[in-house]
Amino acid sequence: MKCRPAGGNEGMGSRAARANEEKKDRSCLHQRRRRDFCITDMGFNFYDADLPESDGIRLVLERTREADPARKRVPAYCFFIVDVAGGTVGRCDLKIGYSDSLYYSGHIGYEVFEEHRGHHYAAKACRLLFGLAKKHGMEYLYITCDPDNLPSRRTCEYLGGKLLEIAEVPDDHDLRTEKGHTHECVFRFDL
């Protein structure tokens, strides 16, 4: 992934304008060193998300979501989880890039509909999403869950995630302001 200024240097003759561009470049360089996603200046292309069937499921692309720098959101893929019979058993999403916010909300989210639970569909979907994340050059992912959500914690453990901590969610994070979550289990997955 490459950070680059949104516009070119055409007509930028002033010293202040050049200094501003250099500041942006330094900011993106700092973010690249931290492996952060430079969502303000990033050009991003979604890959063909026709993922192969694996372990009795396939992921069907529902939609993609562009980055939203104002809300500190990175680009994302949203999928339906479909079983071999063609039935939709749940949903999942993969956020591409890195930001401080994703430490608490995670790169992957999943939901398996109640009548289909107990078949490791979430874990199977995550494995497919790990491959897509690798295509985007990602080296690790976070998956988070509410500490009381034991099935999701078991899924993260089953997948081999490392529990980093049970983190307190910042007061201004969407998880707290919109969903009332105060703490999240943060699992790291090295790809």
Host H or E run for residue 4: none
Which residues sit opposite 167 in a β-bridge?
Answer: 184
- Dihedral sign of CA atoms 186, 122, 93, 159 in order: positive
Boundaries of every domain in the chain: 1-43, 57-190
118's tokens: 């107990």
pLDDT attached to residue 50? 81
pTM, full prediction:
0.77
CA distances from 178 to 12, 111, 125 (A): 42, 18, 26
Comparing 31-35, 151-155, 175-179, which segment has the lowest mean pLDDT?
Answer: 31-35
Whether 175 has a pLDDT exceeding 60, the answer reads: yes
Per-residue confidence at 78, pLDDT binned at 50, 70, 90?
very high
Q: What gap in Å lies between CA 183 and CA 180, rounded to an integer?
A: 9
CB 112, CB 121: distance < 8 Å: yes
Q: What gap in Å lies between CA 118 and CA 20, rounded to an integer?
A: 54
Domain 57-190 class in CATH? alpha beta
CA distances from 158 to 32, 48, 80, 127, 151 (A): 31, 28, 21, 11, 10
